[in-house]
Each structure stands twice: as structure tokens, then as C-alpha cells.
Amino acid sequence: MSAGDVVEATDLPSGTAARPLPVVIDTDPGLGEPGSDIDDGLAIALALRSPELDVLGLTIVNGNVDALTGTHVARTLVERLGAPELPVLLGATEPLVRDMAPVRALFDAVFEGDQPATAPVAALRGPTRTEHAADYLVRLAAERPGELVVIAIGPMTNLALAVQRDPAFAANVRELVLMAGSATGYAQNITVVGDFNAYVDPEALDVVLRSGARIRMVGLDQTSKVMLTRDDAAALRRTDDAFSRWAADCTDAWIDFLGRAFPNRVEHRTACFLHDPLVVAAVTHPQLLHWQTAAVQAETESELARGLVVANRGLALEPAGPPNATVAVETGVDDFRRLFLERISAGGAAEPDRESDPHSTSPKE
């Protein structure tokens, strides 16, 4: 295939309730932590409430919160979701080469000296087993060659370590589905060009993109189309599902934070993005998005362009190289929101309306 070729959803890995797809979610969850993004936790909830997926475990990476806190959050989260037996493994506690301090400082500045207290390390719950997350990924992919899908919704450090520790990991895994980049425009996230996951560890993303693994990417150009509003939170609060009611409170707190962090973005006065849940939905229902092949590279040298992910779909004068990823270029917002809210609020499976256009957009977008 050439860069820019259309990829049909039917050609992408997907599961069914009868034959669920085995997945590991590589994540940096902060749901419930003050000033931390909630979308990882909501993505985990969506995955566990999707019959198309067999979630084998969670691997934790440094990102939205430090990896030790993320492990504690994940342990608490899976208990809230009724899956306390799910393996939770600690992975990379820092990027491959970068310093996390400047990234943390960007978020701390939003609190203007009123940084909320965090739990002491001794009070944090640890992983369910001692195996490093990267080793777990390598082992699982080797035990199930051509079967395992990794949904990576944090920085790519654990995946890069897996590739470095065993290059065969790239061939053994069925697919890596990444929340990174912005295939059709600038990210407008941590920086103008850098989304959080790529910005935190661009070297790790570079390793993954060069690995030869089958890669699918959902970027901020798509995830920023899907929103969770205060009205949605109010509706979740009225359900009988305890997790949904708790998530509603976390949603309101996160929207409050975003309003302070991004005062010039009017959408954050009443809503937050559902970045990571869309990546999970891209696996359960790939027809919700339009896909194209691309030659994708991560910028690792320029500080100005740190976190830039270039997805060459053959639209420029410069010829594109061989494609190494499939990227999302359009999203059916209404159908995604319907799917997400039904599954989160019901605590079980619900199908989107098949009569509607799978690539429709929400009027508010």
C-alpha cells in the first residue's frame, strides 16, 4: 500500500462477544486524582464494559501521574469496576531520556501555589505482581503470537522498552493502537504541535514507529471532536451505577481544572475531551472512524517542535515514504457518544444505533 490509501474498517482487527479480542491496556490513569486527566480511567471502564474485548491486564506508565500513583489509581479503579482480579503491572517510571519535571511544572502552575496534597508513597497500593510491564508485554505477545492487541493511551515508554528488550515483540503483537499525534492538523495540547503522550517521551514513540509492528493511531485531531459535558455528568449522576456517579463527580472536577488551564478555549468551560475512550472504541467499533495509511515520524531533536508527530498521507509535494501506520482522519461523533454513554452508564454492553450514519458529526461540533 501507499501513503494515503483508504483502509476499510473490515480490514482492521476487531472482536465480537463470541470471540473477544485479547487486549492489554498500557495506560497512565489519574481518574480520581486532583488535577489529573480522567479519560484514561473512562477508557478502562469502557474496555471492561465492552464484550468485544478480553482485557488481560493493565500496564502502567509514567505520564498523567507518576507510575506509582498510576498503579494505585488502576488498582482502585478496577475494584470500582468489579474486576479486582485484573493484573496491574508497574512499568516505566520515567521517559527514556527526558526529564518529567518541566512537564509537571506546567500542570502545577495551574494551581497557582495551591497544589492539592498527594498520598505518601507508603500509602499507595502496588502492582499485583512484580514482573515489569515491558517484560509482561513481551511474554504475553510471545505466548499468543499474532493475537494480542495493545491499546496504548499513555506515553509510549513501556512499548519502546518492550521493543528494546525483545525486537520480536513487534512481530508477535497483532497490533499496537496508539493515542498519539494529530494526523490532519496541529495537536494544540501541551504545545501547539505536541500532544501529551508524544511530548512526554518522543524518543519512545520514535522507537515504536520504527519497530515494524502493525500500528494504528488515533490522534488529537479526532479525539478533540468528542466531548463529555457537564450535562452528561449530570445524567451519569442520575443512574443506578455507582461507578458512573463517581465518574460524574470526577468529570466536573476535571472540567473545572481545564477551565483554569485553558482559559482561551471556550469548550473547556462546560466540557472535557474523551481522548482515550475514543481509542478503545476504535478497537471495538473501527467503523466509527475513517482510516488512511501514512508514513509517520516523531520529532526528537527540536525543542520547539517537541512532541510533533508527522503523518505523511501523500498530500504534500514531497513524496511520502512507505507507510508504517494507519491513522484516523474522520470520526462519527454522534455514534461514538451514544456508544460511550450507554456502556458507561449501564455497566454493560449496548450497541450504537446501526440505522444512523456511522460517520455523522455532532451538531455542537
> So which residues are the catalytic ones?
275
CA neighbor of 274 nearest in space, from 150, 156, 149, 365: 365
Q: Are 133 and 59 in contact (CB under 8 A)?
A: yes
Contacts of 79 (CB under 8 A, 6+ apart): none
Q: Output the CA–CA distances (angstroms, integers) from residue 316 to 50, 57, 107, 179, 321, in the order listed.
A: 39, 41, 36, 24, 12
Q: What's the one-letter identity of residue 211?
A: S
Closest CA to 341 of 203, 239, 218, 253: 239
C-alpha to C-alpha distance for 182 and 212, rounded to whole angstroms: 21
Strand partners, 6: 292
In the three-class reduction of DSSP (H, G, I as helix; E, B as strand; rest coil), residue 348 is classed as coil
Residue 278 near residue 47 (C-beta atoms within 8 A): no
Supply 76's cell numbers: 482502585
Q: What share of the chain is helix, strand, coil (3-state, %, to 5)?
A: 40, 15, 45
- What number of residues does the chain have? 365
